[in-house]
Amino acid sequence: MYHLEFIGSVTRVLYGEIVLVALIVIGLVGRSSIITTAACLLLIVKLTHLDRYLPVIERRGIELGLLFLTLAVLVPFAAGRIQPKDIIDAFSGWVGWVALLGGAIGAFLNSRGLDTLKSDPQLIVGIVIGSIVGVVLLRGIPVGPLMAAGITAVLVKLVQLLAGK
């Protein structure tokens, strides 16, 4: 009996580490350097007893990720590679206007995703697992938990409408 209790307590203590090691393996097998690196960094945080920083990473990680993503996208403007003429040319055809619409819809879906995650935080489990599946099996890029939550919100509404709820 004592032995089983000990194993149970060890499993509870090491559960996070076990999941992170599994994610590292999945990332390596699926050739996803992003998942592998993220899981490695979190495992280092756990193994070096810096767990107190996990809430900060959780709270500010998406903001920092979006900041760096936005910085990377804006570099061509800052470097002068995109001139005013290029901006005008971008909207001279229908594709530029569709891109504008796509950006607006994406921003809207992201806001719905944030609202969805705030009101139904347990959805993050499905979103994270779905993102891992998308990265490993579909060669996707896990940059959009907010977008995934926004798409989830739209799909939930659609199912509710179709089901008459």
DSSP secondary structure letters along 121-164: TTHHHHHHHHHHHHHHHH------HHHHHHHHHHHHHHHHHHHT
Question: Residue 110: which of 54, 57, 150, 156 has the closest Cα?
Answer: 150
What's the rounded Cα separation, in Å, for the pair 83 and 118?
A: 40
2 pLDDT above the threshold of 50 = no
pLDDT tens for each residue of 73-99: 999 999 999 999 999 999 999 999 999
Taking the C-alpha atoms of residue 39 and residue 46, their distance in angstroms, rounded to an integer, is 10
* Whole-prediction pTM: 0.66
Percent of the chain whose predicted confidence (pLDDT) is above 90: 39
Of the pLDDT bands very low, low, confident and very high (cuts 50, 70, 90), residue 50 is very high
118 or 36, which is more confident? 36
Q: How is residue 92 annotated by DSSP?
A: S
pLDDT for the residue 117: 81
Banded model confidence at residue 1, pLDDT cuts 50, 70, 90: very low
Around 63, how many Cα atoms within 13 Å sit in the side-chain half-sphere?
5
pLDDT of residue 3: 46
Comparing 50-59, 70-79, 128-137, which segment has the lowest mean pLDDT?
Answer: 128-137
pLDDT at position 143, please? 66
Residue 148 neighbours by CB distance under 10 Å: 24
